[in-house]
Structure 1
Amino acid sequence: MKNKGGIEMSVVQKLEHLILTIPSCLEENAEEEALQKTNQESWSKQEILGHLCDSATNNHMRFVKIKLASDPVRIEKYQQNQWVALHGYSTNYTYREMIMLWTLLNRQLLYVLKNGSAEDLAKPVILDDEITITLGWLIEDYVNHLLHHMKQIIVKSLTE
């Protein structure tokens, strides 16, 4: 993503930009629209937003552990479908609450990232398939995952 001056944004700047711009884009969806499913097996827009809250929660813990560790940290996948079902995002929350929750969780995650160093980004992380990556790669993957799912919820471009 490029900023208005055409200069490549860092992943942390990109996340900060998304936190500032996404909530107003999400608010363009009506609550009824956010709860609609295309079929029984798919998530509604509100459940996708809930999944992104779960992703923020899981990644916040991962990022904190990695930044504080002196040895490589091993991370595991989480059961995303079960997390969404367990939280009952379409029945226990309003769409407005989901937008606020997503915003606050990502802001918390952003502050952890802003309080890091270049050395933190190079810290090794071991995935459950034994592949070693870096914290920097994991952060980039988090933002790309976020954008992928936001494109399922929001019609207009997120790069404006």
Structure 2
Amino acid sequence: MELLENISRDTLKLLNKLENILKYIDDNTIFTKRNTQNRTIKQIVGHLIDSASNNTHRIIHLQYRRSLLNFPDYANLGVNNKWIAIQDYDNYNWEDLVQLMKYTNIHMTNVIKNINISKLQNICISALFTKYTLEEMIIDYPVHFKLHLDEIKELIAQKRKPR
């Protein structure tokens, strides 16, 4: 289906942009610049790994389990910060972390391309009891990815504050 191909292709384009940016960031920027959630660039990259991993599982479950899937939701209620801390992204080797983010998202795009289109209207329920379809979830994936790509670009562009 064209929708699935487009989402996969759009995500890969964003991933390539992010990877090219991450190759040239200095250590100081990786560890000191923080977003509005107080996350470093390293932690944001870790969050993108978690997002790809969790969404891959949701996509797979939504294709073989009964609709109205109530899947553990790591993104709401502050739980994603626990994921970042427990996996200790702060101390992860930077090059390895970038590669893990890259290949986790490449896998995600492959999973998206292979979704059974008859399952696109299957419904998942978030931790906040919001219902959304598999189709809505995958449409949002590159939007979410771009939000973090733009966030990282903004953090890199910030000037150091004088002491």
Letter in 2 for 1:112: V
Give yes or no for contact 1:19–1:103 (8 Å, CA) kept in 2.
yes
Are 2:55 and 1:59 aligned? yes
Q: Matched residues in 2 for 1:107 and 1:119: separation?
A: 23
Q: Matched residues in 1 for 2:17 and 2:71: separation?
A: 30
Letter in 2 for 1:29: I
Q: Matched residues in 1 for 2:25 and 2:93: separation?
A: 12
TM-score, structure 1 normalization: 0.80
Segments ≥4 residues shifted beyond 3 Å: none
Letter in 1 for 2:18: I
Which residues of structure 2 form unaligned runs of 5+?
A: 157-163
**CA-CA distance at 1:142 after TM superposition:** 2.4
| Cα distance change on mapping 1:43 and 1:76 into 2, 3 Å | same
Partner of residue 73 from structure 2, selected from 74, 77, 81: 77
State the match for 1:86 in structure 2. 86
Give yes or no for contact 2:8–2:110 (8 Å, CA) kept in 1.
no
Letter in 2 for 1:33: T
Say which SS state the counterpart of residue 124 (structure 2) adopts.
strand
Say which SS state the counterpart of residue 125 (structure 1) adopts.
strand
Larger relative contact order (CA 8 Å, sep ≥ 6): 2
Q: Matched residues in 1 for 2:45 and 2:19: separation?
A: 11
Give the aligned length.
Answer: 146
Are 2:29 and 1:30 aligned? no
Q: Matched residues in 2 for 1:10 and 1:132: separation?
A: 24
